């Protein structure tokens, strides 16, 4: 016997409008009667299983979409944005009149590649403040990323305006000792995605408003994540520093946090801005 | 669930497909713009730093 025959009936008054409101008491009684008569019939169970399955499949699709976004889409979009942000930052330095003191160009510097005895020291500022850019020809013809103070993921490493962070406990740029920076190997623009492709002698340029610190890549090292000895003025050692080292840290293997890959470079020279960009830098600027 | 959604959408088959496409683009945009960045920041910590 169909349920509806046992439900309380309500007949709209004759001649009234066709859509008459059902009184609340009757509506309530109907609902209660439906609830009372509810049974887990085969059809109801099928529906619950069907909807659950659809929800799970939808969730699965979204997890896959998220992974695609994280590993590819956001990586590529962040990478382009970081290159543009780095180029814009460096352009700003190029536009302002030069305020650094004249460098001594008399002694053996007539070639145009300045070998200043003491490169200026660029102090890193407040957290997340961008104070330099890094250009690495080996990382591609447009690679130009900003370096900001601090290694906080949310304000420095993951954002589209920077990507590379300076360890505040390490030395300042230009100081004798170790200028250490961190960057993602994968995802979030992956500034150091090709860190393992560096070859001995590759130049790494760090640009500030004063000019270009020219480093040459020396070697790679693989360490455990808690090995902070790589940040010492002489990495892994407890001796007095004599050189100016650049240390880059990233994760290893790719997409994992199990180990760290470390790249060491040594300062070769400093090129003041008034001498103009080194040719490799000029090529990157032209391409970007 | 999706069968019910298909039933309650008005119009012919092509109108329904058009409405669903717009809905899908809207859902994807919200996901890419807000949900995925939040999920990445909350659930994934790819550490690239050396820390004690």
pLDDT in tens, A217-257: 999 999 999 999 999 999 999 999 999 999 999 998 988 88
pLDDT confidence band for B44 (50 / 70 / 90): confident
Please provide the DSSP assignment of A129-169 as one string.
Answer: -EEEEEE-GGG-TT-EEEEEES--IIIIISSSS--EEE-TT
Q: Collect all residues with Cβ–Cβ distance below 8 Å to A252 and sequence separation of at least 6.
A: A185, A222, A258, A259, A260, A261
**Cis bond leading into A120, ω under 30°?**
no
Cβ A185–B44 below 8 Å, yes or no?
Answer: no
Compute the C-alpha angle A81/A85/A87, nearest 5°: 120
Question: Is residue B16 a part of any domain in this protein?
Answer: yes
Find the range with the poorest average confidence among A86-90, B34-38, B39-43: B39-43
A184 with B45: Cβ contact below 8 A? no
List pLDDT tens digits, range A250-279.
998 988 889 999 999 999 889 888 888 888
Residue A40 lies in a domain: no
Q: How far is B50 from chain A (nearest CA, A)?
A: 5
Query: Given this model, what pLDDT does residue A2 score?
Result: 54
Smallest Cβ distance to A223: which of B39, B41, B50? B50
Q: Is residue B31 part of a domain?
A: yes
Cβ-nearest to B50 among A50, A185, A227: A227
Would B32 be classed as within a structural domain? yes
Q: Can you give the CATH number for the domain in which A238 is found? A: 2.40.260.10
Predicted confidence band of residue A213 (pLDDT cuts 50, 70, 90): very high
In a domain, A59, yes or no: no
Residue A233 domain-assigned (yes or no) = yes
- The predicted pLDDT at position A111 comes to 45
Residue B37 touches chain A, beta carbons under 8 Å: yes
Q: How many independent structural domains does chain A possess?
A: 1
Report how many domains make up chain B.
Answer: 1
User: The domain containing residue B27 runs over which residues?
Assistant: 7-41
Domain contains B49:
no
| B32 and A CB contact within 8 Å | yes
Nearest-CA distance from A17 to chain B in Å? Answer: 26
Residue at A57 is within a domain: no
> Mean pLDDT over residues A151-165, rounded?
92
Is residue A130 left, alpha or beta, with left meaning phi > 0 and alpha meaning psi from -120 to 50?
Answer: beta
Give residue A230's domain range: 70-287
Predicted confidence at residue A100, as pLDDT, reads 44
Which of A185, A225, A255 is opposite residue B51, by nearest beta carbon? A225
Nearest to A257 among B28, B41, B46 (CB): B46
Structural domain includes residue A10:
no
Nearest CA in chain B to A164: B48
pLDDT of A114? 46
Measured between beta carbons, the chain A residues lying within 8 angstroms of B2 are 54
- Separation CA A265–CA A201 (nearest Å): 9
Query: Which of A257, A259, A261, A262 has the highest number of chain B CBs within 10 A, making it the mutation to test binding with B?
Result: A257
């Amino acid at each position: 016997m169909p349920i509806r025959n046992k439900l309380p009936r309500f007949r709209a008054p004759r001649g009234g409008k066709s859509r008459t409101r059902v009184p609340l008491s009757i509506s309530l009684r109907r609902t209660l009667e439906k609830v009372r008569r509810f049974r887990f019939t085969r059809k109801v169970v099928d529906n619950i299983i069907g909807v659950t399955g659809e929800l799970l499949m939808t969730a699965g699709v979204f997890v896959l979409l998220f992974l695609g976004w994280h590993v590819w889409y956001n990586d590529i979009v962040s990478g382009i944005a970081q290159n543009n942000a780095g180029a814009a930052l460096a352009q700003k330095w190029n536009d302002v009149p030069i305020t650094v003191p004249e460098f001594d160009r008399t002694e053996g510097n007539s070639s145009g590649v300045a070998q200043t005895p003491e490169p200026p020291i660029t102090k890193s500022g407040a957290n997340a403040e961008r104070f330099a850019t890094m250009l690495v020809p080996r990382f591609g013809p447009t690679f130009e990323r900003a370096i900001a103070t601090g290694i906080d993921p949310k304000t420095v490493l993951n954002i589209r305006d920077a990507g590379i962070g300076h360890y505040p406990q390490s030395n300042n740029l230009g100081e004798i000792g170790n200028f250490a920076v961190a960057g993602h190997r994968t995802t979030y623009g992956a500034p150091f995605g090709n860190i393992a492709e560096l070859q001995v002698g590759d130049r790494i340029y760090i640009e500030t408003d004063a000019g270009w610190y020219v480093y040459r890549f020396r070697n790679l090292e693989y360490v455990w994540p808690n090995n902070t000895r790589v940040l010492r003025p002489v990495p892994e050692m407890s001796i007095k520093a004599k050189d100016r080292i650049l240390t880059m840290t990233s994760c290893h293997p790719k997409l994992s946090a199990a180990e760290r890959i470390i790249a060491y470079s040594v300062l070769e020279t400093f090129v003041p801005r008034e001498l103009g960009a080194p040719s490799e830098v000029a090529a990157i600027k032209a391409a970007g | 669930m999706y069968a019910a959604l298909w039933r309650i959408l008005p119009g012919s088959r092509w109108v329904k497909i058009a409405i669903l496409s717009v809905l899908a683009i809207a859902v994807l945009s919200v996901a890419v713009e807000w949900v995925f960045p939040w999920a990445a920041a909350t659930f994934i910590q790819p550490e690239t730093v050396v820390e004690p």
